[in-house]
Structure 1
Amino acid sequence: MSYLELRDIHKSYYLGKEEFPVLKGIDLNFDLGEFVSILGESGGGKSTLMNIIGGLDRQFQGSVTVDGTRLNHSDEKALDHYRRDTIGYIYQAYNLIGHLTVMDNVLIPLDMTTLSKADQKKRAAELLDRVGLKDQAHKYPNQLSGGQKQRVAIARALASDPKVIIADEPTGALDSENTKEVLEILDGIAQEGRLVITVTHSQSVADAGTRIVHLADGKIDKDTKLRDAYPVTDTPRLKSRLLPAAVSYTTAYKHFNFNFWRNSLIVLGTAVGLFAVMLFSGLGNGISGYINKQVNDLVNPTAVSISRYQKSATASTSGSGGSSKQAQAQQQQAMQQSASSMTGASTASSSTPTFSATQLKQLGNIKHVTGVSKVYTASSVTTSYNDKKATISSLQNWNASATSNTIKYGHKPKAGEIVIDKDSVAKSLSKNHWKDLIGKTITLSYKTTNKNGKPVTVKFKAKIAGITSKSAAASMASDNFVSTKTLTAAMNKANVSDKATSTVVKVDKIGNVNGVTKKINQLKTNDKRLYSATSVNSIISKIQTYVKLATNILSAIAAISLVVSALMIIVTMYMSVSARTKEIGILRALGESKRDIRRLFISESLIIGVLSAAFATVIALIGEVTVNHMLASIANYAFVQITVGNVVTVFVIGVVISLVTAFLPARRAAKLNPIDALAAD
């Protein structure tokens, strides 16, 4: 039994419905150790027969049997293995890959063997030495002569230790001297016990072999044995394997590096979009954090401010004038209650319901509530010290909603003490030495009504324990606080009611604030709502919703540039597929599968995506430092805060874009017919 057998091979090409037969019943046997020349004129079917033997052409009738096993030409994976394990190709046009060095070209089939990396390089070096190109290993194909290129192609064909070498017009582009050298090398290959099949139209080349098969008009008209085949020894051969994924990534990187400047422009374009997304996200983080800090400085974040729930009264229909005035009064009251709920203050009014001891106890029994405090507010309080006077627009007792963050000097008020605002009070009482007021006693008085409804003046003294200072944004809140005991004692002395129209509950943890707020708002008696509760968390949440919306809009604008970048990658990948069509054919002929080709182009796109994300991260971090430095004069706060999550998100976006945009070009590359790809210019 011969090593390679062809039986009744028929092959036709079609133009529309018209059939053009090329091979018309070929029967051939080939043995190891032979150097067979398939001789014939152009168009006689030589190359078609070569493609069938090499497992590239699947559309034919007949059978090919290798070492007693019939090839299944409908099984593409089996044919990939056959080419990878058994076949080595040598082409007239050399078909070297231009962006790889001589060494890398020879290493391509070795990557699909079980040899270690070190042994692969050692074998490649030995093969180059055998063909006389050891000192040319690190050159690129365009730096070699025609004869040198063909010898590289021979070294590559031998790399995986195949049993069959197919040479398609291997001397067609060579001078006589190089032709002689190449034929000697091919004869030496046959002497090693391999089967060498050469396709040629040159009689002198055919005469160099051991056998000539003459092909004319799609049929064999002569089969001449020139000399005996070389003896075959049973020597161990290299074992093949599937191409490792790492090789695809390495090859993709080499191509990326070979076209570095073109690819760098694509990376830059993609990085601009990713940079914008990261910077705007960081800006959103910073602004949200700044707002959160400002509001938390204003009010204790674990405090929930509560007032008695009141329905909005409907306008009276008794007269249009009265209706208008009532509506205006209701609107003003609603605005006051809204402002009071933020700060924990309450505006005293005879129509405003107060809290009973039972209700205060009810609030204190709610899960996660650790304390309940009444809120008292005195308006238009006159302060005096050493004949200097100042007016406090709103003086409040120190309660759970107050925060020590605003006290810049001193401490929070204890019994008999008060903290005053720096700008509106302290500097009015002592312009140049206002810090020295700490520890001094001031007199305070304000007018209100007593329990009998008669006007009275509440007057008391308090020692200054601290001085507060708030930003302009926080000026709506009370920033003057007196101890609760001091204020209620003065109120009781003036026969003023100490029932509060507002109260504050303190929650154990900030994570429970929203739940407690919701629970209080749901409390009812006889199906009537009892309380209206608000927390600083709800205020922050609303503000951050607007910030997030603005950030998302900016990010969406940045996404437009990402779309443009994605289109750039798609166009580049399609151009790359077109430019590398022959390379795809070469890789398939050497045994790489469709999956390997897809992975090659996806890997190259992935490199672009990852490098774009990395570059975007670098310039975004530089931008973060720059912007924060520029805004330092406005506020001592980092308004751009790029988090690890932002960086990860950008890398994910970069990878997703690269994978999505590479899918169609990579799929097209993998579907190319190897024969058509090899014929591309």
Structure 2
Amino acid sequence: MPVMELKQVNKSYKVNGGETFQALKDVNLSFKKGELISIIGESGSGKSTLMNLIGGLDSDFQGEILVNGENIRDYSEKSLVQYHKEKVGFVFQSFNLISHLSVLDNVTLAMTLSNVSKADREKRAKEILDVVGLKDHVYKKPDAISGGQKQRVAIARALVNDPDIIIADEPTGALDSETSNQVLEMIKEIAENGKLVIMVTHSEKVAAYSSRVVTIDDGRVIDDQAGNALIVKENKYKTEKPNRNKNLSLLGSMKLALLNMKEKLSRNILIALGGSVGIMSVILMLSLGSGVNAYLTDTMNSQVNPLVSEVHMPDEATGNETEINKLQKQNPLLGLSSAASFETENTEELAGIEHVESVEEGFTNFSVGSSKASFEENTAQFMSITTVSSMITSADILEGELPNEGEVVITENLADTLGDVLVGKDIQIETLINEELLDLTMTVSGIYGSEGGMDTVYLSYENLENALEEAGGELAPNIVYLVSDDADATESIKAEVERLEYKGSSTEALADTFSQMLDIFTYVLAGVAGISLIVSAIMILTVLYISVVERTKEIGVIKAIGGRKKDIRRIFVSESFLIGLFSGLFGVGIAWGLSLAANAASTHYFDVDIIILTPTYAIAGIVLSIIISMVAGLMPASKAAKLDPVESLRRD
């Protein structure tokens, strides 16, 4: 029974000017197992075109090429892939071995595309390599062996999947005479072992080894005659057929991609380093913003009691403060507090919030130019007078202690202006509150550690209330402090205060605003740094396009031995994934090193870590690098997958 039948096969090409050139004309042939057939003819006769059709590299023809009763022309992509894996093996004139793969890996490649286990494919490949006389060369690269040995590797690769048909394209064209005879004897022996072997050649010497010679001229079969009879032998080339129900796995494509990248190791390292610059810049910008933000938050939190929430009346609240507010708006330098006062119902409402243990009344007054403190010959203006609450703890006091009756705490800068040693000394305080001028003599009990804040005098609410009553005025709280029974409940208390339409701490609001501005600034800087990622993507795209061009023949070989378009895409996408992964790892590593150096310097000079590189930023940087690289690799991968195997194999 014929292994293959050709019936009325015609093949035409479009040429320049829209004309059609007919390469094959009404070809009718039949081939059986155990034949060694030479298809001979001059250059341009159509023999290579016929070989491409028989091998399934080109299925655009008219007529029928029947294998097991099915026309190759009607094969789906899946069926054509299976045909290359199961039925046909190729031996090329120029060997077409993949230079960066070892002899063993070149032979196992066809089984790798079928996802055969490593142990099975190496066992099978070594058996074939032993039969063709290359047992001692399995781990060498193609450049380390002779031309004859390379052709033996190509023969082993063609045989390893135990196909029914072997197609040899000028198998001795690149060999010397002695080596040619050895290879031809081997090919003859393969046919005698029961396989159909078809050689395409123009050499009469090669044809002399054949059991049948088909002559083709101008696209037509002009002669088909018997040659030397073959002697059927025991099939020493036979191997256990591999599992052909699978395709190239993701892990297999990763391995092939790694081997490809290893071949151009220096170039790929430079690409990864180039791509890492953008990732490193983005990570550093985000980490810098995180560090500055953390420093701001920690500084604010260090100066407040975590159990206490500061509350103000809303801006629209008026009550008995209306006239005072009007005066303040008319003359801001009067030193009047513009904050609305709390009524009894307000404090009771706030006291009813869950987890509020107590409510402390307070008062704060901000003024410019109307408040001053004096000690001996020194006088200094201050901008705020505030009552002491649980918000201020002894940890905030640099020297001394919190004030009692007749005592005040002043800020460090104010103390430096008035004198070197003030704790325990009396100072004179003049300030204007609710239109009443207060002139007080108070003892400094402590120095408040305010860094960069306004000069402030702190005293108890009772002291300020008594002093204002003696001056003929009345003090009403314009600020209250809610003391929580649990630090973890403080945030929920603040949320409830906001829901009740009261205002929180102006310091916290200012810090939040600054934090938001800092976040925006950080993201802008990260975006600017991210421009380099676009450059990286273009670089990766360009390099992968170059790789496609460099490996065009390799792509043709992979398709000829059963590689799907999907497999080709997967290999190139895997390469872009690995480039992205290495770029991300390099970027994170460099960013981490620079952050250590920057933090060492900032800790030395400012006692703070200025860069906080979190695992989230590191992981996000790696993921971003992979995504950008894979997106950049999609077009080259698609181009590689669409390459015509016939054209690819012709590429030098």
1:499/1:537 CA distance change after superposition, 3 Å: closer
Q: Does 1:262 align with 2:263?
A: no
Q: Which residue of 2 aligns with 1:330?
A: 329
1:369-418 Cα distance to aligned partner (Å, 9 max, x none): 5543322347857587xx89887834432225435553345665577875
Corresponding residue number in structure 1 for 2:345: 358
Secondary structure at the counterpart of residue 38 of structure 1: strand
1:448 & 1:488 partners in 2: Cα distance?
14
What is the distance in 2 between the residues matched to 1:404 and 1:159? 84
Residues 106-163 of structure 1: CA deviation (Å, up to 9, x unaligned): 1211213464212322222232232222333333223332212111111111122222
Paired amino acid for 1:541: D
Counterpart for residue 279 of structure 2: 274
Q: How far, CA to CA, are the matches of 1:331 and 1:402 in structure 2?
A: 33
**What is residue 526 of structure 1 aligned with on the other side?**
none
1:606 corresponds to 2:568: no
CA distance in 1, matches of 2:146, 2:330: 92
Partner of 1:85: 86
Kindly indicate whether residue 623 of structure 2 is the aligned counterpart of residue 621 of structure 1: no
**Equivalent position SS for 1:33:** coil
CA distance, structure 1, for counterparts of residue 30 and residue 106 of structure 2:
32
Return the TM-score normalized by structure 1: 0.84
Query: Which of 475, 489, 499 matches 1:519?
Result: 499
**Unaligned stretches of 5+ in structure 1?**
313-325, 337-346, 522-530
Tell me if 1:7 matches 2:7: yes
1:481 deviates by: 3.6
- The corresponding residue for 1:217 is 218
DSSP-derived class of the 1:177 partner:
helix
Aligned to 1:644: 615
1:327-357 Cα offsets, whole Å, 9 max, x none, are 9963864x99xxxxxxxxxx655x8653221
Amino acid at match of 2:285: F
Q: CA deviation at 1:592?
A: 0.3
The alpha-carbon deviation at position 41 of structure 1 amounts to: 2.1
Cα distance change, pair 153–554 in 1 and its aligned pair in 2 (3 A) = same
RMSD, matched Cα: 3.4
Report the CA distance shift for 1:455/1:490 in structure 2 as closer, same or farther (over 3 A).
Answer: closer
Taking the aligned partners of 1:115 and 1:153, their CA distance within structure 2 comes to 19
Aligned with 1:497 (options 467, 474, 477): 474
Distance in 1, Cα, partners of 2:566 & 2:601: 51
Q: CA 1:415 to 1:2, structure 2 compared with 1: closer, same or farther past 3 Å?
A: farther
Partner of 1:318: none
SS in 2 for 1:167: strand
SS at match of 1:214: strand
Residue 484 of structure 1 and its aligned partner are, at CA, apart by 3.9
* Residue in structure 1 matched with residue 189 of structure 2 by the alignment: 188
1:306 maps onto 2:312 in alignment: yes
2:363 maps to: 376
Matched residues in 2 for 1:235 and 1:310: separation?
A: 91
Deviation at 1:544, TM superposition (A): 1.6
Task: Identify the residue that residue 238 of structure 1 maps to in structure 2.
Answer: 242
Contact map agreement 2:23 2:218 (CA 8 A) in 1: yes
Aligned residue for 2:622, secondary structure, equals helix
Aligned counterpart in structure 2 of residue 559 of structure 1, from 511, 530, 552: 530
Assess if the C-alpha contact under 8 Å between 2:24 and 2:46 holds in 1: yes
Q: After superposing the two structures, state which structure 1 stretch, 641-650 or 592-601, moved more.
A: 641-650
**One-letter amino acid matched to 2:232:** Y
Moved more, 387-396 or 364-373: 387-396
| Cα distance between partner residues in 2 of 1:448 and 1:420 | 14
Change (3 A) 1:537 1:512: farther
Partner of 2:321: none
Q: In 1, distance between residues paired with 2:528 and 2:100?
A: 38
Per-residue Cα deviation, 1:70-108 (whole angstroms, up to 9, x for no partner): 435351121011101221110001111122222221121
Q: Does 1:71 align with 2:72?
A: yes
Cα distance in structure 2, aligned partners of 1:268 and 1:128: 40
- Report which stretch shifted further, 653-662 or 232-241: 232-241
For normalisation by structure 2, the TM-score amounts to 0.87
For the 8 Å contact 2:309–2:504, the answer to whether it is kept is no
Alpha carbons 1:514, 1:535 under 8 Å: kept = no
CA pair 285-305 structure 1, distance change in 2 beyond 3 A: same
Give the 3-state SS of the residue equivalent to 1:355 in structure 2: coil
Q: Distance in 1 between matches of 2:105 and 2:45?
A: 35
Matched, 1:680 2:625: no
Q: CA deviation at 1:662?
A: 0.6
SS at match of 2:215: strand
Alignment of 1:43 onto 2:44: yes
Q: Report what 1:538 is aligned to.
A: 509
Matches within 5 A, 1:145-544: 145-226=146-227, 227=229, 230=232, 237-240=241-244, 241-299=246-304, 303-307=309-313, 309=315, 330=329, 333=332, 348=336, 353-365=340-352, 371-377=358-364, 380=371, 393=382, 394-402=384-392, 406-408=396-398, 419-425=409-415, 431=421, 437=423, 443=426, 446=429, 457-458=439-440, 464=445, 467-472=447-452, 475-476=453-454, 478=456, 480-485=457-462, 487-488=464-465, 497-505=474-482, 509-512=489-492, 515-516=495-496, 518-521=498-501, 533-544=504-515
Deviations 1:158-178 (A, max 9, x none): 122222111011011211111
Unaligned runs of 5+ in 2: 319-324
Q: For the Cα contact (< 8 Å) 1:3–1:31, is it kept in 2?
A: yes
| Identity fraction in percent | 36
My pick for the range that moved more, 583-592 or 408-417, is 408-417
Whether the aligned pair in 1 keeps the contact of 2:361 and 2:477 (CA below 8 Å) is: yes
C-alpha separation in 2, matches of 1:496 and 1:279 = 57
| Pairs aligned (count) | 632
Residue in 1 that maps onto 2:119 = 118
Q: Distance in 2 between matches of 1:582 and 1:598?
A: 15
